Amino acid sequence: MANTKRFSGILTPNITPVDARGNIDEDKLRGYVDWLIDHGVDGLYPNGSTGEFVRFTPEERRRIVTIVVDQTRGRIPVLAGAAEANANETIAACNAYGDMGVQAVAIVAPFYYRLGSEAVYQYFREIANAVRVDVTLYNIPLFASPIPVEVVVRLANDCPRVVGIKDSSGDVPNMMRMIAAIRPMRDDFTFLTGWDASLAVMLIAGADGGTNATSGVVPELTRALHRSVVAGQIEEAMRLQYQLIPIFDAMISLGEFPEGFRAGTRARGWDLGPGRMPISDDQREKIRAMQSHIDGLVAAVTPSLNQN
């Protein structure tokens, strides 16, 4: 049985709704949070990559977490992305979010520069030893300095405040290497996967849950998939994973990330605005042309799921 302190299930790295002028759309954000909770997500993850955290200012990032925590009202846990320009700024954000009542923060490894493992370790240790909130490491080697398995193990061993890893590499064997090394000494340590295309096999391999962008579009499907694995219904979990992949593929390849996921939410009736990257008329037209394809993919999986 899973340790009750661990995160479990599917946390949604929610898109940040913006209005026509590109400002945070608070009403939409509150409404979307309610919709996600109503559709069964197990947690929220504001200021993740899907939330375009790097494209918002430090003040905006705090406002996003404030709104999400306030609207959630403790119904489900909130894992707040807290990476800022440097360790000191990140520590301040962590503590601010902790004071707001988030269950934990998630901190991506330093990006832009590609740091070696010793520097990555040092960065997280400095933060973990200074904050008064639990910290989840966020490994996304495609975008940020990689957090090698041995660094995760060292941090789990050295820093009680480090309580989990969110891994978006999609590397199943690495997930298993981390679980094998850490779980015997830290029963409270959470393993989450951020790579939707591997969600089922990651859960089968021992991960506690996922922080998956698709859960912001088809939360019923990702929830059912997670519950199937928990219930030991592996064939059903794989059947749902086979449904999830084409939806994920269509959204991840549509325009620049996370434009495709914005198209996905439109298929559910949520127009969350245009995103923070300028896009050309051609690109906008191309996305519009693909909307009905996305609509169809989403519709194909949601009715049956809604009947459950």
Footprint on this chain of a copy of itself (rule: CB under 8 A): 22, 49, 54-58, 85-89, 110-116, 118-119, 121-123, 125-126, 142-144, 170, 172-173, 176-177, 180, 197-198, 200-201, 204-206, 232, 234, 238, 241-242, 245-246, 249, 256-257, 276-280, 282-283
Minimum separation from the CB atom of position 180 to a copy of itself (A): 6
CB of 177 to a copy of itself, least distance (A): 6
Q: How far is the CB of 74 from a copy of itself (least distance, A)?
A: 30
CB contact at 8 A, 34 and 71: yes
Is residue 187 within 8 A of residue 3, CB to CB? The reply is yes
**Residue 173 CB neighbours (<10 A):** 9
Nearer to a copy of itself, 72 or 196 (CB): 196
Residue 117 CB, nearest distance to a copy of itself (Å)? Answer: 11
Nearer to a copy of itself, 76 or 221 (CB): 221
d(CA 141, CA 19): 31
Nearest to a copy of itself of 100, 252 (CB atom) = 252
Element spanning 177, H or E = helix 172-182
Neighbour tally for 112: CB within 10 Å: 9
Please check whether residue 77 is in contact with residue 43, taking contact to mean a CB–CB distance below 8 angstroms: yes
Which is closer to a copy of itself, CB of 20 or CB of 118?
118
Distances (CA, A) of 52 to 121, 165, 184, 242, 261: 25, 20, 35, 27, 12
The distance of closest approach from Cβ of residue 257 to a copy of itself in the complex, given in angstroms and rounded to an integer, is 6
Q: Distance between CA atoms of 124 and 151, rounded to whole angstroms?
A: 10
Q: Which is nearer to a copy of itself, 33 or 201 (CB)?
A: 201
